[in-house]
Amino acid sequence: MDYRKMGASDLEVSAIGFGCWELGGTYGAIDETEAVAAIDRALDLGVTLFDTAPGYGLGHSEQVLGRALGARRRDIVLVSKTAVSWDPVTFTRKMDSRYSTVKQIAEESLRRLGTDYLDLLLIHWPDIDTPLQETMRALTDLVAEGKTRYIGVSNYTAYELQESKKHAPICADQVGYNLFDRRWERQMFPAAQELGIGVMAYGPLAHGLLTGAMGRGTTFPGKDWRASGLVFGQSLFAPEHLPHNLEVVEQLKALAARLDTTLPRLALAWTLRHPAVSVALSGCRTPHEIEENVRALELTLSAGVLAEIDAIMAGAAGQVDRVPGLHHLPGVARGVDTVTGTLPTSMPLLP
């Protein structure tokens, strides 16, 4: 296992992190016993960072992870999130970064995880109706109270990072980053590097597309968040785009075979090649998957291989340039939807 610092902080994390979104049950069928075995195997392989959130299965992911870690919790870097509340009756969620909500949701996470502190607490999504300064004050107070050792954000733009850093020592920004999605690399990575903020890359396998296991007959059950064909504003799985993207995947698989490796290892190595990235979050359902993903650290990609990958990715379909979510903007009291360019009247449901 390789280990890296989270940005300019002294928090050391494994380069491959264990993403626990799947444990929530909204990512297709999952065998909980197998998933717990995967967590155990990850620990044995030296994986130290485990990332979850209250919104992953309305708290279920945190509960499963807490039970699985048990006494080994002190051996790992435990990451969770706050500032997304949900209605248990309608199963709808909204971004809420008010001071009281940030603290309340963090306390609830601690109870579900069975621990008295987090190693890193993130604001899950920006809340355009709450000033960034208020949200950062909640995070710094949680540090002062011993509820979390480090603080960060998720899905924050360059401007939001710059403003937040003025009020709190944030050390991480967790965003989607993979071969099919380089939006944040262009929009935010330079600012993160300048500010000493480490990037936590979620979805490095493009939410299943880069596992190589999907085919033209792939469908998603209604409970699976990918069923709409949209992944964070990109229609990668839409019927008109999936065949093109599967062809791209086949070309990447051929390249991986030529390099005597596998597609998941190639995809993870590509994500980790960027110096802004502190950790790639690997969602795993079985011990074999985490064993496979950790082997990505054995692979170094040459300039020539990277150029080949860029040429292959030119055939991808369904991509957009705008980052997902609603965001604070300079000189604007309320944020703008970066997809439509309009002032929203309600918050969309995002994973």
- Which of 56, 150, 177, 202 does the annotation list as catalytic? 56
CB 138 within 8 A of CB 188: no
CA dihedral 66, 71, 76, 81 (to 10 degrees): 20
Give the three-class secondary structure for 148. Answer: strand
- In angstroms, the Cα distances linking 241 to 27, 50, 201, 289, 311 are 20, 33, 24, 27, 18
How many Å separate Cα 231 from the centre of its chain?
12
CB 109 within 8 A of CB 82: yes
Q: Is 159 in the active site?
A: no
CA dist 101 and 187 (Å) reads 28
23 contact partners, CB below 8 Å, separation of at least 6: 30, 32, 35, 52, 56, 57, 60, 61, 64, 65
Number of H helices, E strands in the chain: 11, 14
Decide the pairing of beta strands 77-82 and 49-51. parallel
CA dist 125 and 143 (Å) reads 19
Could you give the residue numbers annotated as active site?
Answer: 56
